[in-house]
Amino acid sequence: MKRILADLHIHTALSPCASEEMIPQAIVRAAIRRGLEMIAICDHNTAGNTAAAEKAAGKDITVIAGMEITTAEDVHVLGLFPDVWVACTVSEKILKTLPEMQGSSKILGRQTLMNAEGQIIGMETKMLAASSAFRLSDSVNLIKRHRGIAVAAHLDRPSFSVISQLGMIPDDISFDAIEISGAAVASSRIQEFYSFGIPVLTSSDSHFLSDIGTCCTALEILEPTFNELVLALRGIAGRGCSVA
Amino acid sequence: MKLNDLAEKLSLRNLTLEIQIKESTCVSKGHASDLLSDVLANAPGGSVLVTIQVHMNVIAVAIHAGVASVIFASGMVPDQAVIEKAISEGLPLYTSKESTFDIAGQLYELGLRGGHG
Ligand SMILES: [Zn+2]
Ligand SMILES: [Zn+2]
């Protein structure tokens, strides 16, 4: 068993709110420099740049293909998937329910699809900042049906979290983990999040290169793979996770 | 103002006809919000909540906050399971085609006020 550091919530330039500097190669380099061995790419409502990030990473760092779904209730949920193909399958279903941009990228921000080298290969035409038609329960079911990990994103934040939108975690939803920000880790509120009895992760939710690895999760696993991450969240055979 | 009269004045559609609203049920406060964390923290006890949030949690949160009734704006209607939960909790639900803004305006005209009003 070894201890590795993972930052499981990083946006690329595809997210309208993320910096243009968030190109796959630069993200991977910054992550390695900060001692991370696993990252997850989670753009808003799409997995469109996960293939590029995985390719850019090569064998130097593990990239998990993910996405940050905005549910119909304006709740952010992370889906982390076994591979890029599965992530993109889910992403297609979500994208179908979003409105078209219709030239509002000047206000909302550019949505750049890239290859591993960071060259622009297209622009996403769906409005990624909008909420999808999938409700929270439907989103979590969709993620789980695709063997994904469902994470309640930035649970401590006053906007777009399960608690801000819905007041509490609904009874019928079983998240695989909850994510809290670095600020919550440092505060006295942290016990409140452990009390849910769900594994607690902390991630940077990076929108800029300088955010990467500013807070991360320590994983006790055999090797940095998706399957090991799943086992760590379930605490199987000595594996585990903790806020770092 | 009596809840029954209020519902009639605003031409609200009653989603919970099974609930017998007591003649004596009166409301004088209102709250408009779609963030249930805000409802928990700020909705005055005994108030009418105007919202487009139709998630099941709206019932538990309304009960917890002591909200007297919920009006779903913009034609929003929650799932049957939500309505049934409200019936079992005795929380009257209404829906209206009008927007949150217009409903709140009418409630204000009828004399209802927010938490600080
Ligand atoms: Zn988010
Ligand atoms: Zn995010």
Q: How far away, in angstroms, is B111 Cα from ligand 2 center?
A: 42
Beta partners for residue A70, in sequence order: A76
Reported pTM? 0.90
Chain B interface, Cβ < 8 Å to A: 34-37, 39-40, 53, 55-57, 60-61, 64
- % of chain A beyond a pLDDT of 90: 91
Tell me the CATH number at B17. Answer: 3.40.1390.20
Tell me the CATH number at A29. Answer: 3.20.20.140
How many other CB atoms sit within 10 Å of the CB of residue A16? 21
Q: What does the pLDDT read at residue B35?
A: 93
Query: Which among A14, A17, A18, A76 is positioned nearest to A49, based on CA atoms?
Result: A14
Mean pLDDT for chain B?
95
Structural domain including A123 reads 2-243
Q: What is the pLDDT of residues A60-106, one digit of tens each?
A: 899 999 999 999 999 999 999 999 999 999 999 999 999 998 776 67
Given a cut of 90, is residue B21 above it in pLDDT? no
Q: What is the pLDDT of residues A156-207, one digit of tens each?
A: 999 999 999 999 999 999 999 999 999 999 888 889 999 999 999 999 999 9
Q: What is the pLDDT of residues B67-116, one digit of tens each?
A: 999 999 999 999 999 999 999 999 999 999 999 999 999 999 999 999 98
The sign of the CA dihedral A37, A43, A45, A50 is negative
Q: What does the pLDDT read at residue A73?
A: 95
Chain A interface disruption, residue of B37, B40, B53, B58, most A CBs within 10 A: B37
Fill in the DSSP letter of residue A238. G
Chain B residue nearest residue A74, CA to CA: B35
Q: How far away, in angstroms, is A178 Cα from ligand 2 center?
A: 13
Q: What does the pLDDT read at residue A27?
A: 97
Name chain A contacts of B39, Cβ cutoff 8 Å.
167
Which of B34, B37, B57 has the CB atom closest to A170's CB atom? B57
CA distance to partner chain B, nearest, from residue A131 (Å): 14
Question: Within a domain: residue B89?
Answer: yes
Fill in the DSSP letter of residue B47. P
A21 in reach of chain B (CB within 8 A): no
CA distance to partner chain B, nearest, from residue A149 (Å): 23
Count of structural domains within chain A: 1
For residues A212 and A31, the answer to whether their CB atoms sit within 8 Å is: yes
Please give the biggest Cα pair distance in chain A: 52
Query: Are the Cβ atoms of B57 and A168 closer than 8 angstroms?
Result: yes
Q: Give φ, ψ of B55 to 5 degrees.
A: -65, 150
Query: For residue A179, what are its two tokens?
Result: 């994510």
Query: For residue B88, what are its two tokens?
Result: 């079992």
Query: Are the Cβ atoms of A167 and B61 closer than 8 angstroms?
Result: yes
CA distance to partner chain A, nearest, from residue B13 (Å): 23
- Give the ligand with the smallest distance to the CA of A159: 1
CA distance A201 to A194: 10
Burial of residue B52 (number of CB atoms within 10 Å: 0-12, 13-18, 19+): middle
Chain B residue nearest residue A163, CA to CA: B37
- Give the ligand with the smallest distance to the CA of A206: 2
CA distance to partner chain A, nearest, from residue B35 (Å): 5
CA distance to partner chain A, nearest, from residue B74 (Å): 15
Q: How far away, in angstroms, is A153 Cα from ligand 2 center?
A: 8
**Total beta-carbon pairs less than 8 A apart between chain A and chain B:** 36
Q: What does the pLDDT read at residue A116?
A: 87
Structural domain including B84 reads 3-109
Interface predicted TM-score of the whole assembly (ipTM), two decimals: 0.81
Q: How far away, in angstroms, is A160 Cα from ligand 1 center?
A: 6
A152 in reach of chain B (CB within 8 A): no
Residues 25-84 of A with CB under 8 A from B: 73
Q: What is the pLDDT of residues A21-60, one digit of tens each?
A: 999 999 999 999 999 999 999 999 999 999 999 999 999 8
Query: Are the Cβ atoms of A167 and B56 closer than 8 angstroms?
Result: no
Count of structural domains within chain B: 1
A138 in reach of chain B (CB within 8 A): no
